[in-house]
Structure 1
């Protein structure tokens, strides 16, 4: 199929208008390489890495081409054969992908280090001197908007089991994530509280680890499979009815563990068991939970103008774009304003805004034009990467600096009537 329906859905094609920057173009490059018509050199690698992996092309494709699987296979092949990485990049990749992200205890140490950096005054000194900006202006911008880190994750705060409020509807397993548990610990805690309030007993398996999404997107497929197997075993042992994610990027690979392990027959049954139980927090609250009660507005309160930025993977892979909007429209004193192209990528895409800052910033510039046009006081999203990207957008392009970017869990919990 070469119809081109994917072209207008692709963020990089919309920015450049180049065929090679489209899903159709990249698939042609992959095929030409496989057929021996071209050598997979540095230009081929750059084009594969220039893809955001947002998978907006998949819902647009009438032939149901699994582009996400193709790009991950291409990146895996590149990592197996590439000789173009600079030595320091190889060291950093090996350190983060194999020695840090897969190990929760090491992530806690990272959180502790970041917290000391933020609380001892060192961060203020660094920002005042602008030393980070000497290396990278984009990295300096990201450092400035980092949330408060923590070495005490959700298990340390709440334990491994939180009972349901009232009559129990079901038992759910909370997927805490790696970066979520270090940089967004409060969001994780509020996720558990929302689930409990909605009638779910929450189990947080302590042996779970990173979902493997960053590994898979970077071509580290073997390590992604190791992560998947550990998580499957952890949640099977907990014997939960559902597995809940509050991060669109994590949820997208969790729901595809059956595909990730498709070439390992011994894991087929377990991976299928896991994948069919994965639910985004918004979806399970709408489909299975008791209705949450929210604080009523005072008569003289002006409605809060709220808009929503879709997580690409939540929308295009998990197919859960309606539930967040339903929840937001159910909150009293809220005026929901739909953003133009809310489903288009914000430019975060995992670590894309770090590895491809020029294109990421170009996409973010256009996103902020649409966000500012809503006049919203709150930009709500359902993924940590999107949240940081929108915070960066407000910092750089916000018409009103008082606008807040918030995770939907935080927005809902802060307005919920607590029993």
Structure 2
């Protein structure tokens, strides 16, 4: 080991000791209830170090000075999906996700990246996701690629296959991006169709309001039909989830403060999210800023108002919905289920659609392997998890595979491609399914 590496590990160990929540580390009873809930533990054939209990033990060993925070230690933390399925399974109420984010943040602050990696991280975390105009610019380039025939030419000539890993397959399942003019002309208010039952503010997100804008439009349509008066604050920013999960916690805090400042100006009943990954961080703003005297109470007040779109629609109610006869199954968004606690509302909404036969998938609550950018940086494990998921999906014989998060949706489409089911199965966001069913019923009225 070089002196530079040794010094870095020593400094990292000191920072871990000072920065980790020791009370939370010792809260783990090592009972093992988390083991069957953990995707990486299962897929590695029961490797203890690849489990929540094992990773907590590794963190504690570093804090206690019993081991060095070496490459193997960092690798185990990076291979964690961060799905937080271990938390509902834990009898002592461990907040494993908080420990993981703290450890990754401490590691990143000491990590010596190469120049290209530093530039890429700076571009993504500082110059792209926090700035919606730049997100629109990048999405506009993708729109140009899709709409001018370049994409078809690249696919026909197999140029896309030069992309590393599974990026060429991901390129095929990306949604059709709306035009630049449509992305710029976004509404700031959508009125209830009838007498307003609730006044809500919609968290439109960054990717959701560009690449997945059609789903956002469907969300606003459903809220109007459910007689919710909806405000869409113009100066809201990225939720910060990608930052928080990638060791960029300071950036996540800055984004959180901006969103709190913007949304607290609106006197609303709820703040509505339609992406499980975004919603999970929004409800965690209270924890993210708990040590900031100026923001702690404001962050908690913000988080207390956050609800997933399915919870709102189920609570308020939708008009009659109808689809052609089909079997539908559902893949939980990990963060929607494990962090926000939302799992029954999406199922009840789907079951209320005339013509739909709902079939529960085996292990629907297990991670699909998307986990933000995990399916790119940890491709082998991600695809291993996805292939198991698709076996369970195929067993339902469902024609429609539904989920509630953009990353999960792309992963399901990727799974359909890998399984060769493109002609038989479609993957949709639950909001798009509900909007489709409502419009079909309206057309028959």
Q: Could you say which TM-score interval applies, normalised by the shorter chain?
A: over 0.9
Distance 1:26 1:408 in 2: 34
TM-score by length of 2: 0.90
Structure 1 CA distance for aligned equivalents of residues 390 and 317 of structure 2: 35
Mapped contact 1:372–1:398 kept (Cα < 8 A): no
Q: Find 2:327's aligned residue among 299, 305, 311.
A: 305
Q: Is 1:66 aligned to residue 111 of structure 2?
A: no
Which has the higher mean CA deviation after the structures are superposed, 303-312 or 146-155? 146-155
CA contact (8 A) 2:191 2:228 kept: yes
SS for the counterpart of 2:208 is helix
Offset at residue 399 of structure 1 (A): 4.5
8 A Cα contact 1:377 1:402, kept in partner: yes
Report if aligned partners of 2:183, 2:209 keep a CA contact under 8 Å in 1. no
Q: Retained in 2: the 8 A contact 1:395–1:401?
A: no
Residue 306 of structure 1 contacts residue 336 of structure 1 at CA under 8 Å; is this kept in 2?
A: yes
CA displacement at 1:129 relative to structure 2:
3.2
Match of 1:8 in 2: 36
Corresponding residue SS for 1:405? strand
Q: Deviations over 1:172-213 (max 9, x none)?
A: 111111111111101000100100110100100000010000
Q: What is the distance in 1 between the residues matched to 2:151 and 2:71?
A: 37
Deviation at 1:90, TM superposition (A): 1.9
- Is the CA contact 2:310–2:345 (under 8 Å) kept in the aligned structure 1? yes
Corresponding residue number in structure 2 for 1:32? 61
Q: 2:182, 2:368 → 1: CA distance? A: 28
Q: Cα RMSD between the aligned structures?
A: 1.5
Q: Quick one: distance in 2 between partners of 1:48 and 1:132?
A: 32
SS in structure 1 of the partner of residue 295 of structure 2: helix
Q: Which of 36, 42, 51 pairs up with 2:71?
A: 42
Distance 1:121 1:370 in 2: 36
The corresponding residue for 2:232 is 204
Extract unaligned runs of 5+ from structure 1.
none
SS in 1 for 2:410: helix
Instruction: From 164, 167, 171, give the equivalent of 1:139.
Output: 167
1:237 CA displacement:
1.4
Partner of 1:315: 337
Match of 2:212 in 1: 184
Please point out which of 393, 403, 427 is paired with 1:381.
403
Which residue in 1 is equivalent to 2:433? Answer: 411
- Aligned 8 A contact 1:209 1:230 in 2: yes
Question: Cα offset for 1:322?
Answer: 0.4
Q: Deviations over 1:235-273 (max 9, x none)?
A: 111222210000000000001100000110111221111
Tell whether 2:344 aligns with 1:344: no
Which of 151, 155, 158 matches 1:127?
A: 155
How many residue pairs get aligned? The number is 412
Q: Which residue of 2 aligns with 1:290?
A: 317
